[in-house]
Amino acid sequence: MISVYVEPRPKARDEHARIDNYVVETEGDKVLATFPTQEEAIGWAKRNNYIPHVARVRHLLNKRNPDHFRKA
């Protein structure tokens, strides 16, 4: 199975700013789908045989740093 990343949007925002939606992205930053909640994004990823990862801290989103993400 392929790992994907559930990230909040807008991407460039203050860490306390409102989140508009969540995207499911590949490691190469290709957006596969967009959802209003993180839960829906994780569910979609699992139903489509992906391994979803979410940010440990919502403003740290470096996919190449394994400390920034955890499996959902």
pLDDT in tens, 22-68: 999 998 889 999 999 999 999 999 999 999 999 887 666 778 777 78
Tell me which residue range forms the domain holding 24. 2-12+19-71
pLDDT value of position 35: 98
pTM (2 d.p.):
0.86
What is the total count of domains within the chain?
A: 1
Q: Which of 59, 61, 50, 58 is nearest to 72 (CA)?
A: 50
Which DSSP string corresponds to 31-58? EEEEESSHHHHHHHHHHTTEEEEEESST
Distance CA 36, CA 66 (A): 25
